[in-house]
Amino acid sequence: MKSKKILIITLIIILVLAVAGTVFAYLFIATDTFKGDKELFAKYISQNSETLEKFTDLQTKKVYEGLKDEEKYESDTEIKATYSEGGEVSNPINNLSAKINIQKDNTEDYFYADGQILYGNEKYLEAEAIKDQEAYGVRFTDIVKQFVTVKNDSKLGEVAKDLGTDSVTLEKIMDVIDGKENATEEIISKEDVQKIKDKYMNIITNAVSNGTFSSNKDAKITYNNNTVSAKAYTVSLTSEQVEGMIVEILNNLKEEDKIGEKYQDKINDIISNITDEKEIPAVKITVYEQNKKTIRTAIEITSLAKITVENTDENNELKTKIQISGISTETTEEYNIEITKKTDENQENVEAVLSVTNGDDTYQAGISNTLKNSDSEIQIKTIFEYKKDILTAALNLNNNIILGDSFEKKQSLANNNYVLNDATAESRQKVITQLKQVVPEKMTTRMGLLMEAIGLKQNNVTETEKPESEMTQVDINKFNAKFEFFTGDEVTPENVKTLIGIAKENLGSYEINIVEDSQNSGNTTTTDPEKIKYSIKLKIEKGKTNEDGTNQILAKISDKKKYKVSIFYKEQNNMIDYITIDEAAK
């Protein structure tokens, strides 16, 4: 328990002191209150905040923020997962990917976004959003066939109420799509962020300003593998001052609406542990200055940890190295963070790498981002990577944005949407109720199938057997969803075979017919088997097994063809009646 308490305290101290520099720049330099060592300490520690501002001034961020002001663009993003152990790349996670396509044309009052999650070439989940003239719509592709749309007219309030929200919320969503408002603005405003920042920075600054300041005008340190002379300015805080600072911060956190409601009891426990703890560490912060530039900041937490921060800014390359060393009787923990930002004309490269050593255990995690920008095209490549021993896992994001050029619209709402505003109240409520039930159920089923495909979930749940007459609509929807994923106009033979495998346990009867055409006379003895076209019909009856029929059907599925798979439902309860499998049109 004691070591756990100290660890909690250490983490809090690290987090608090790591951002302290921004406050000193405001309070210490903007006034003449402090002189000598205190003033110089404030001056040089503030350079850490200046470096942080340079790192956060990212061209990539500005590019994405600027898209809302572009009249016309098309953006294509592909996200790909990779996983290997010792160079072996056959893990099913390597087949996982996602695609996002966005089209925007303000001249035609048009916006479209399509997001897909794929395993190999098969779409497991897809959702679309569209704004076409005055209508805003969404569609969960392959779950519902039409876009469900709303319009900002006199009925918006009624529609919002049926959706379980209000017109103000719907209008804000519309404004986000139109680019008039950012999606994150309502979570916390810039003004509120600044107020919170100032509040806690003032607590830290007040605590530090009451510390003991000193200096060493000829300190010797190892910097860039060389022994150099630097001027050092130090502030020391007693354990009582450290405790008071942390407790004051935690007491203020309890008063924050978002935090206090959820974590008040936990915060009280931490405060109690801190005030009961007999070994609160003292803290010493030292800044090292050479040629009017801060080259190192060191934070020493007595007997527990040491943090060093080194900054360089040369040849358009900004670099920060952070080392956190923890001292323990059992192991030595060390965290090394290196952040690099290099900016050239129309190009920006940013990389952050964390290396961790905990005794004999080591691993590395990092993120890199490359931006190439021109008047007509933007290319952004982002990589998240994790390495440990022979294991390497990564998430690769490639985004290509074409500005200004015309494009062919991917979707249109003409004859392809259900307008909630135009429907009667009864019809609208019925559709919304069905969507609220069916969409989550089918998405959950498809996510389960995806997890099985990548090996993160085993299908070992035995379905409760119920006769069809006792099945609720929820039961029916779940039953149907097992088959519905595999429908489409160009289904791969692998997925057709998977569908047939599922149908085997629910197959009442089947039909296999040869399709007559100019290349297929029906004479199977003289025609190339690959040229024979079959039309297959599966009559679905829950709980009936037909293994022989399944084998005959599988024998007719060619690995060289794609298929059109359609489902037909019973009118009385919307349960699957039969499935047809036909060769896809070429």
pLDDT tens-digit series, residues 116-162? 999 888 888 899 999 988 889 999 877 778 899 999 888 999 999 99
The helix/strand/coil state of 188 is coil
- Both tokens of 525, joined, read 């003895």
pTM: 0.73
Domain residue ranges of the chain, discontinuous segments joined by +: 32-58+186-389, 71-178+410-439, 460-520+529-583
To the nearest 10°, report the CA torsion of 580, 581, 582, 583.
Answer: 170
Give residue 336's pLDDT.
92
- Both tokens of 324, joined, read 């956190």
The three-point CA angle 373-375-380 to 5° equals: 25
Question: What is d(CA 480, CA 488) in angstroms, rounded to the nearest whole number?
Answer: 15
Question: What is d(CA 105, CA 409) in angstroms, rounded to the nearest whole number?
Answer: 10
Starting at the edge strand that comes first in sequence, how are the strands of the sheet with 488-491 ordered?
Answer: 488-491, 563-569, 576-583, 534-540, 507-514
E strand residue ranges, 175-316 = 212-223, 226-237, 283-290, 293-301, 305-314
Neighbour tally for 4: CB within 10 Å: 9
For 111, phi then psi, to 5°, come to -145, 135
Give residue 258's pLDDT.
65
Beta pairing partners, 84? 392
Give residue 537's pLDDT.
95
Beta pairing partners, 574? none
Output Rg (C-alpha) for the chain, integer angstroms: 32
Give residue 567's pLDDT.
93
Instruction: Give per-residue pLDDT as tens, 220-260.
Output: 998 888 899 999 999 999 988 888 888 888 888 888 776 66
Give residue 18's pLDDT.
47
Give residue 19's pLDDT.
42
Can you tell me which residue has the tokens 């629910």?
A: 506
Give residue 3's pLDDT.
42
Give residue 117's pLDDT.
93
Q: Which of 118, 177, 160 is nearest to 142 (CA)?
A: 118
Question: What is d(CA 212, CA 37) in angstroms, rounded to the nearest whole number?
Answer: 10
Residues 6+ apart with CB under 8 A from 530: 558, 560, 561
CB 394 within 8 A of CB 367: no
Residue-by-residue pLDDT tens, the chain, 586 positions: 444 444 445 444 544 454 445 445 444 444 434 458 888 888 888 888 788 888 888 999 999 888 888 899 999 999 999 998 877 777 888 989 999 999 999 889 999 999 999 988 888 889 999 998 888 999 987 777 889 999 988 899 999 999 988 888 888 888 877 767 665 555 456 777 778 777 877 888 888 888 999 999 999 998 888 899 999 999 999 988 888 888 888 888 888 776 666 777 877 877 777 777 666 788 899 999 998 889 999 988 887 788 888 988 888 899 999 888 876 556 677 889 999 999 988 899 999 999 998 878 899 999 999 999 998 999 999 999 999 988 999 999 999 999 987 888 888 887 778 999 999 999 999 889 888 888 888 888 888 888 887 877 655 544 556 788 888 877 888 788 888 878 888 888 988 998 998 899 899 999 999 987 655 555 555 456 777 889 999 999 988 888 888 999 999 999 989 999 999 999 888 899 999 999 988 7
Q: Which of 124, 134, 104, 151 is nearest to 422 (CA)?
A: 151
Beta pairing partners, 214? 234
Give residue 10's pLDDT.
47
Q: Which of 294, 64, 276, 73 is nearest to 182 (CA)?
A: 64
Count the helix, strand and coil residues of the chain and give each as a percent rounded to the nearest 5: 35, 40, 25
Give residue 259's pLDDT.
66
Give residue 554's pLDDT.
94
Instruction: Give per-residue pLDDT as tens, 402-441.
Output: 998 788 888 888 777 899 999 999 999 988 988 888 888 8
Give residue 511's pLDDT.
93
